[in-house]
Chains A and B, each alone.
Chain A
């Protein structure tokens, strides 16, 4: 069975600092992995996805994630945080026709 674990329910960074949100996965088959973002009072929207092509995946708003099979990780990064990045971020893995979401990490950005 597939699952994801997000390390840290809250992350706080200063504006302009590196953003690093951690996600580890468990999958019995080559995984399809995703990061979704949820802004306040909105639904989730796709940031980026890994589907077994390039291991470094670039998404919207300057985010990227690297698939590391040896570490079973799919961490999300952004070189320089912006105030508008404050949101909740969900790592997810596809299991059959369902998507299994992690518990989420809330990102705070300090001015």
Chain B
């Protein structure tokens, strides 16, 4: 299995631009999680989906952030407009119902907003 795939691996953009991060979960997994990691705040859960439905988005910092999961094999996290404080590493993770104790993380997208 290829594992969780994220793209791009690195993104550099200017303040005010729209940023879209992409994630392909492990095939057959029905939970998908988006996390943000910064030095100051550590690892934060932003949102998670079950069977493509958003279950808990209480970690999404602002309305500038949105996430979708149009099908079982694809999810996006969008920031519009982006700000320098959004600079972080964004991780996607997936897990399987009944085994939600183990999450499989992607390699992350390092976002830099200038």
Seen from chain A, the residues whose Cβ lies within 8 Å of a Cβ on chain B are 32, 34, 41-46, 49, 51, 90, 94, 97-99, 101-104
Residues of B within 8 A of A98 (CB): 33, 45, 48, 56
Is B55 part of the binding interface, using a Cβ–Cβ cutoff of 8 Å? yes
Q: Taking chain B's interface residues, is the majority helix, strand, or loop, or is none over half, making it mixed?
A: strand
Seen from chain B, the residues whose Cβ lies within 8 Å of a Cβ on chain A are 4, 31, 33, 42-43, 45, 48, 50, 55-56, 91, 93, 100-108
Residues of B within 8 A of A99 (CB): 45, 101, 103
CB pair A43 B4 closer than 8 Å = yes
| A43-B107, A101-B42 as given contacts; A49 in contact with B50, CB under 8 Å | no
Count of A-B contacts with CB under 8 A?
48
CB pair A43 B106 closer than 8 Å = yes
Query: Please, how many angstroms separate the alpha-carbon atoms of A46 and B48 in the complex?
Result: 19
B24 to chain A, nearest CB (A): 14
CB pair A97 B43 closer than 8 Å = no
**A49 touches which one: B45, B55, B93, B101 (CB < 8 A)?**
B101
| A98-B56, A104-B42 as given contacts; A42 in contact with B107, CB under 8 Å | yes
Residues of B within 8 A of A104 (CB): 42-43
CB pair B106 A46 closer than 8 Å = no
